Structure 1
Amino acid sequence: MNERRAIGFGLAAVLLWSTVATAFKITLEQLTPLQMLTAASIVSAIALITICAIQGKLRLIVPTFISNPLYYILLGLINPLAYYLILFKAYDLLPAAQAQAINYSWAITLTLMAALFLGQSIRKQDWIACTFSYIGVLVIATEGNLLGLKFESPLGVGLALLSTLLWASYWILNTKNTSDPIVSVLLGFLVAIPIALGLCFYEGLQWSHISMKGWLAVSYVGLFEMGVTFVLWLTALKLTQNTSRISNLIFASPFISLILLATIIGEYIHPSTLVGLVLIVIGLAIQQIKFGKRRKVTTCQKVK
């Protein structure tokens, strides 16, 4: 029974995460990346506070922060502040299909960083996975013109790759965190929100022009990219007796996302994006088959 519930929660998380690339693009029509980060973070914080209240975890928030304030400040600066600001800017500069596919290579970045900072070994299968995935990134970034190495938006590609580095760094720092994961994520938002609001004030950003569609879109991002869906994913991992089975659900997410981008906002999906994404997923599959049970660092990761 628990296994069926775990699969249900996992599928719900994957389906919701599959919609966020479309929501990003809709939101960016009216909000800047900084405004998007700020508004979505506030929505996420409200959602997570509500979940903590329901689960009786509100009493843990202050003691958890006081136990290691510098650590939680650092986590908050990385995620959500720097990570989502850079990710949203990448989506602003690139077609959503490209940004999403490149960002999806973060798990390969995590493998390399785990070897560098946690002393985990890189085996032959890891290098094969890295090769497939980063060739896929090049195919996407150059729209198939590998020899020409001409990028439509070098800055957008660079930011999308930087987002993978930040996300991997966040999970590396989380490997020794024994606190409640929902409370830890909430603390990140509570750290980031005042800074984001301060940056909005400094930049003199205006909010009056945002329509109801824009507010609904950014609220959707806050709930289902940065908030509630994380709880669904954690619940699935907690209920399952087979973590790799749940983790394998993530491979459907980017392809569902491409379908939604094409049908909902009419974005043209370049054939090279699909080819590159297949290469990235092949690389991730190679890595998952070999290391799905071994690498504890990946147990709480989310998809994009």
Structure 2
Amino acid sequence: MELNLRKSYIAWTSLLAIAPFFFWGTAMVAMKGVIPNTTPLFMAGVRLVPAGLLVLGYAALSGRPQPKSGLGWLWIGIFALLDGAMFQSFLAQGLVRTGAGLGSVIIDSQPLAVALLSSWLFGEIIGLWGWLGLGLGIIGISLIGLPDQWFIGLFQGETISFSFSWLGLLNSGELLMLLASLSMAVGTVTIRFVSRYADPVVATGWHMILGGIPLFVLSGFWESDQWSHLNLEGWLNLSYATVFGSAIAYGVFFYLASKSNLTSLSALTFLTPVFALTFGNLFLSEILSPLQWLGVSLTLVSIYLINQREKIAQHLQKLQSSKDSSTLAESTSNQ
């Protein structure tokens, strides 16, 4: 009985850990048809403020305490600036200026930054197998998101030329996506400090509201026709992205981030483009190329290596110790 309960608990926690990335991936699919009919800052605000209200409503119903100290509100403000206003604004503006594939590769490379920050700040051990997994994850999402022609050309010995200018870099979507990725990475690490002074679920709700309000203000100044072209389907897609892709996904993710190993949890971000591609194939008839399927496979292998890195290292160490003992015993018997 106890064994069955433990298995059920492990299965439930595994599903809970994967849920944010499933919802983020499927929310991207839901929003693909919405982006041309709205504006980026308005869309980012819609994803944050209503979702924050939902999270705070859940927190109130579950009896979670509101922040009481000035330090708590200070850390929530920093959290809101980094993961709310900066991440969502950079992401929304970057989507307008870069391709979705390249943009997703840059965004989903943030586990590298999280791993480095977590190792430096919290002493999390990455190890050989963790670094191998992170490397495979980057290769995997690159195969998923970047054009096949790039890799085919590299395999055939061709060189890819890039035109570069500092002005072009400052106005590029790639730079905005990189800034979005770094903002999310630092925001993910920040939740550890936030949770010392405030409930992580409550902090997540407030950071969405405090980070989303400036986006609505900026949208009012700089954008027009934010919702005039949205139909019922568009509002339903935005609602899905808000409720599931923001409220539930962010609430679960940052709750786990306040308690779990950040390197292992953040590595699951590699699943986001996998879910986006899979459901894009099911609902939007998007076809995956053989290289993209290879990328999906490498991504899954990378997640396994990162999350099982300590067990793999311990198992190999035991095998090596057993081998050394056998060698020593054989040498002794020969003498």
Report if TM-score (shorter chain) is over 0.5. Answer: yes
Residue number in structure 2 paired with 1:228: 248
Partner of 1:47: 54
1:215 to 215, 235, 238: 235
Question: How well do the aligned residues superpose, as a CA RMSD in angstroms?
Answer: 3.9
Q: 1:170 maps to which residue?
A: 187
Q: Is the 8 A contact 1:78 1:170 kept in 2?
A: yes
Matched, 1:143 2:148: yes
> Mapping of 1:29-68 within 5 angstroms?
29-57=36-64, 60-61=66-67, 63=68, 66-68=70-72
State the distance in 2 between where 1:35 and 1:6 align: 34
Q: Is the 8 A contact 2:52 2:205 kept in 1?
A: yes
User: Compared with structure 1, are the counterparts of its residues 267 and 87 closer, same or farther at alpha carbon in structure 2 (3 Å cutoff)?
Assistant: farther
Is 1:199 matched with 2:218?
yes
Amino acid at match of 2:54: A
Deviations 1:181-209 (A, max 9, x none): 11111121221132112101210422323
**How far apart in 2 are the matches of 1:170 and 1:244?**
14
**Residue 115 (structure 2) pairs with residue 108 (structure 1):** no
- Tell me the amino acid that sits aligned with residue 189 of structure 2: I
Deviates further, 251-260 or 103-112: 251-260
Matches within 5 A, 1:278-297: 278-291=297-310
**Residue identity in the other structure for 1:173:** T
Give the direction of change, closer, same or farther, for the CA distance of 1:10–1:123 in structure 2 (3 Å limit).
closer
- Give, in angstroms, the shift of residue 107 of structure 1: 1.8
User: Identity rate of aligned residues, in percent?
Assistant: 19
Q: Distance in 2 between matches of 1:223 and 1:213?
A: 15
TM-score for the superposition, normalised by structure 1: 0.76
For 1:93 and 1:259, locate their aligned partners in 2 and report how far apart those are by CA, in whole Å: 24
Q: What's the secondary structure of 1:266's corresponding residue?
A: coil
* CA deviations over 1:145-199 (Å, ceiling 9, x no partner): 2543457998444444433322211122222332211111112122113211210
Aligned mates of 1:131, 1:229 — CA distance in 2: 25
Q: Report if the CA contact (8 A) 1:78-1:166 is conserved.
A: yes
2: CA distance between counterparts of 1:18 and 1:193? 21
**Which residue of the partner structure matches residue 85 of structure 2?**
81
The structure-2 alpha-carbon separation of the partners of 1:151 and 1:49, relative to structure 1 and needing over 3 Å to count, comes to farther
Q: Which moved more, 1:30-39 or 1:48-57?
A: 48-57
Q: Where does the alignment leave 5 or more consecutive residues of structure 2 unmatched?
A: 312-335
Instruction: For residue 224 of structure 1, report the CA deviation from its aligned partner.
Output: 1.0
Cα deviation code 1:278-300 (max 9, x no counterpart): 434433332221159xxxxxxxx
Q: Which residue of 2 aligns with 1:298?
A: none
Query: What is the deviation of 1:41?
Result: 1.3
SS, match of residue 41 in structure 2: helix
Segments of structure 1 that go 5 or more residues without pairing to the other structure are 293-304
Q: What is the CA deviation profile of residues 114-157 of structure 1, one whole-angstrom value per residue up to 9, with x for unaligned ones?
A: 23444555533344234323334554435352543457998444
Deviation at 1:37, TM superposition (A): 0.6
C-alpha separation between the residues in 2 aligned to 1:245 and 1:68?
Answer: 26
Aligned partners of 1:109 and 1:267: how far apart in 2? 31
Q: TM-score, normalised by structure 2?
A: 0.70
